[in-house]
A and B are shown apart, each in its own frame.
Chain A
Amino acid sequence: MTDLMRLHGARERWVRTGGIELCVVELGDTGETRRPTVVLVHGYPDSKEVWSEVAARLADRFHVVLYDVRGHGRSTAPAPLRGGFTLEKLTDDFVAVIDAVSPDRPVHLVGHDWGSVQSWEFATVRRTEGRIASFTSMSGPSLDHFGHWIKQRVKRPTPRKVGQLLGQGAKSWYVYMLHTPVLPELAWRGPLGKRWPGILERVERVPAGDYPTPSLPSDAAHGAWLYRDNVRARLRHPREDAYAHAPVQLITPLGDAFLSPRLYDQLETWAPRLTRRTLPAKHWVPRTRPDQLAAWIGEFVTAHEEKETGVLAPRTTPESRYADRFGGQLVLVTGAGSGIGRATAFAFAEAGARVIAVDRDAESAARTAEMARLIGAPEAWGETVDVCDEQAMEKLAEKVAAEYGVVDVLVNNAGIGLSGSFFDTTPEDWKKVLDVNLWGVIHGCRLFGRQMAERGQGGHIVNTASAAAYQPSKALPAYSTSKAAVLMLSECLRAELAGKDIGVSAICPGFVNTNITSTARFAGVDAAEEKRRQKKSSRLYGLRNYPPEKVADAILAAVVHNKAVVPVTPEARGAHLMSRFTPRALRTIARMEPPL
């Protein structure tokens, strides 16, 4: 018995249809509470246990239904196999299951891989109209849409379209293999079946454990007929009326080895009510990203359940171009009370992320959180912590984990400025600047990075370094040292965390118009002179007028594209190039006195 049945309240039942028996498992309440029913359909070569992690996370809020597709897991296989796996028959099975588990109320459908392929059929044929409240699709296009996608590209073969065709053609190698007779069955029942768990773990990074189940060889052997019965027929003659009659949420794993994200380019024409989500992960997201999937499924189901009962939650639709990536994610930004940190918190909020704004100034942290909620963050909190206070940071990490969850994106941004010659910089000055600029980052990475790594479902860390990290200057010895350390820390951490699917980026902004200049310390001068220099430098930065919002955009882009080092302003990019190709010129610049 698998871990599914060990879940609280799991009930098994058998549904008979068309001469076969389907094994159906239900989790969560059905009784008086009338919770929405969520049906999870597995793919190939899988069984319903592929959903165990996701189902466990949904069961406390929903009535979760899983079933083994015919010929898989404990469901029986049709005889003969040929012709027993057509989409029409799979639709019969689905209708029989929902008739049994939710006869009077539409269900929320979720499909992965071949489960999604068949769910597209369920969501586009007339006979299920009104029975499906929403459909969440991942890693499985409709064969009809796929057929039209290929036709369009063959008909008008521009270089780009030919490239897309060839790209997907190469990714579909296994489909061709599965069309050969007998051999796939032999392989699955023989060496491939034995090695498959290891392959999944190594190549697809599926965590080891009790998945795949022992039924894998026969699942995979039977499932080959899914391809043989449907792919050729549907790709050659795709249905013209394959329009979704339910709202669709499309979750696209960007690292999918079998499906190109380009497949969904014109999906809006087939599914007008489409919500797009992307996540940086490989094909088996139900195993590798259960938290994220459960969150997105839950949110989508709830949103469309409310719509049906007529109670619409007031929800500002995020318009950011990264909304598909950050919607619902938990983002923590330090130094979020002003400048780049605040702009970054806002940018994430606009993309629909839940934001934790951390600053040592309580009022400005709360203000950032308040404004973040106004522009699209479903939730936002202000936290007052000084990043260089180890205990306070530990307490914050505990609180965040307990109350808000594991952080998906961490932005270590808090920093202070310090200018002045090396001999004017006192040990206290050094300590202060290293405490905030370096130790703040170390604490953040140490505490929140560990939570991310232990969860094992990816994430991203952004550290705000500076152009001063590679541009030496006689005016900024301490500040540059601290930022260079942040840059190298980020690079090392990136190497270490790559195996855990956690990206690390160092952002090197350059001269950005923020209040870092007006709060910077100028070593070796009296208070009046310091005030004057703060004012002067603020004015110069004001003239340069590079807005922190652009840095925030660069930070979001760095997370999306998992960039290692991101110089932002033109001068930062120029200096970065010079540091690589003409370091001597850069050293000459370092000797110049800044115009203060």
Chain B
Amino acid sequence: MTSAVVREISAELRGFREVQTLAYECAEAVAAQLKPGVTEREAARMQRQWLRERGVRDWFHLPFAWFGDRTAFVNFRVPLQFFPTNRKLEPGMPFILDMAPVYKGYTADIGYSGCLGLNPVHDKLLADLKAHRELILSEVRERRPLREIYEDVDRLMVRQGYANRHRAYPFGVIAHKVDRVRERRLNPTLFGFGTQSLKGLASDALHGHRDGWSPLWSPYKFSDHPPRPGLWAVEPHLGFRGTGAKFEEILVVTDSGDPEESAFWLDDDLPHVRRWAEGI
């Protein structure tokens, strides 16, 4: 009986892992094609096309691309500024590709940071993200309230000398829940977000509101609860004087009593993790 449950869960996780891998493959493929003069809009379109060709029909959100100081959300005031612009990529510029495709009903939400050529500051930011990935996992395993984990991540950033840039996201979230989405023939988007996914998020928010939790992991009071089982797309985003870097990947939280099983990263075979393992 138990083994059947485990297998069922892992079948589901496999689905999520598959789409996350697909999304990171897309990011690496698009990043490899970026060259000076490519605009954010073109980079976003390249991601969209790459994924559509491989069967993606719906989105949690449409692909984003940020170049240069837009990776650190410099002077962002309104959410519309997140959308890709005609900013051109230049040598040495950092960039971030952020996409959330839905594939066979499974959602991924990933963020890929890179830079065109040499950029020591960007390399440093990427290297320092490692500590955040470890901190988040260990504190989720301790079942600390999400709001406190958020503050600890914040403190680590300040200690490192960085600014918290995920604060700029809607509701200042460092993470949000993702879930399975029913496949439809028509998949409209609203302000860049897939309506199906928004519906799922809204219903989670409603249920959570009743039970005292929220699908958004924010610095606010509504996140003052222990981690909720499910899949969380975690996206710490560092900013340092016009250079930004983030990763985004799915953290699986279960209600298992075993700390190792209670929370784990969906997949460790990701570009940024490989990079750290290679010691760059």
Interface size class of A (residues with CB under 8 A): 10 to 19
Q: Closest CB of chain A to B75's CB: distance in Å?
A: 12
- B241 within 8 Å of A (CB atoms): yes
Q: A371-B124, A374-B124 are in contact. Are A364 and B241 (CB under 8 A)?
A: no
* Most A CB within 10 A of own CB, among B161, B219, B240: B161
Q: Closest CB of chain B to A353's CB: distance in Å?
A: 15
Q: Tell whether, in the assembled complex, residue B240 and residue A371 are in contact, meaning their CB atoms are under 8 Å apart.
A: yes
Provide the residues of chain A in CB contact with B159, threshold 8 Å: 338, 364, 367
- B120 within 8 Å of A (CB atoms): yes
Q: Tell whether, in the assembled complex, residue A367 and residue B163 are in contact, meaning their CB atoms are under 8 Å apart.
A: no
Q: Which residue of A lies closest to B159 (CB)?
A: A364
Q: Tell whether, in the assembled complex, residue B241 and residue A338 are in contact, meaning their CB atoms are under 8 Å apart.
A: no
Q: Would you give the 0/1 interface string for A335-378, flagging 1 where the beta carbon is closer than 8 Å to chain B?
A: 00010001000100010000000000000100110010011000
- B273 within 8 Å of A (CB atoms): no
Q: Would you give the 0/1 interface string for B145-165, flagging 1 where the beta carbon is closer than 8 Å to chain A?
A: 000000000000011110100
Partner of A515, one of B124, B158, B160, B219: B158
- A298 within 8 Å of B (CB atoms): no
A549 to B160, CA, bound (A): 15
Interface size class of B (residues with CB under 8 A): 10 to 19
A338 to B161, CA, bound (A): 7
- A547 within 8 Å of B (CB atoms): yes
Partner of B163, one of A350, A515, A547: A547
- B121 within 8 Å of A (CB atoms): yes
A374 to B161, CA, bound (A): 12
Mark out the residues of chain A between 298 and 353 whose CB falls within 8 Å of any chain B CB in the assembled complex.
316, 338, 342, 346, 350
Q: Tell whether, in the assembled complex, residue B161 and residue A342 are in contact, meaning their CB atoms are under 8 Å apart.
A: yes
Q: Would you give the 0/1 interface string for B227-259, flagging 1 where the beta carbon is closer than 8 Å to chain A?
A: 000000000000011000000000000000000
Interface SS of chain A: helix
Q: A346-B241, A350-B241 are in contact. Are A375 and B121 (CB under 8 A)?
A: yes
A354 to B137, CA, bound (A): 39
Provide the residues of chain A in CB contact with B120, threshold 8 Å: 316, 374
Mark out the residues of chain A between 267 and 319 whose CB falls within 8 Å of any chain B CB in the assembled complex.
316
Provide the residues of chain A in CB contact with B121, threshold 8 Å: 374-375
A374 to B241, CA, bound (A): 11
Q: A346-B241, A350-B241 are in contact. Are A371 and B161 (CB under 8 A)?
A: yes
A542 to B147, CA, bound (A): 14
* Most A CB within 10 A of own CB, among B121, B219, B241: B241
Q: Would you give the 0/1 interface string for B4-15, flagging 1 where the beta carbon is closer than 8 Å to chain A?
A: 000000000000
A316 to B240, CA, bound (A): 16
A338 to B121, CA, bound (A): 19
Provide the residues of chain B in CB contact with A371, threshold 8 Å: 124, 161, 240
* Most B CB within 10 A of own CB, among A374, A375, A515, A547: A374
A564 to B161, CA, bound (A): 29
Q: Tell whether, in the assembled complex, residue B158 and residue A367 are in contact, meaning their CB atoms are under 8 Å apart.
A: no
Q: Would you give the 0/1 interface string for B97-136, flagging 1 where the beta carbon is closer than 8 Å to chain A?
A: 0000000000000000000000011001000000000000
Provide the residues of chain B in CB contact with A350, threshold 8 Å: 241
Provide the residues of chain A in CB contact with B160, threshold 8 Å: 367
Provide the residues of chain B in CB contact with A515, threshold 8 Å: 158
- What are 8 A-B pairs at a CB distance below 8 A? A346-B161, A350-B241, A367-B161, A371-B240, A374-B120, A375-B241, A515-B158, A549-B241
Apart from A338-B158, A338-B159, A367-B159, list 15 A-B contacts with CB within 8 A.
Answer: A316-B120, A342-B161, A346-B161, A346-B241, A350-B241, A364-B159, A367-B161, A371-B161, A371-B240, A374-B120, A375-B121, A375-B241, A515-B158, A547-B163, A549-B163
The 10 closest A-B pairs by CB, nearest first: A374-B121, A371-B161, A374-B120, A374-B124, A367-B161, A342-B161, A375-B241, A375-B121, A346-B241, A515-B158
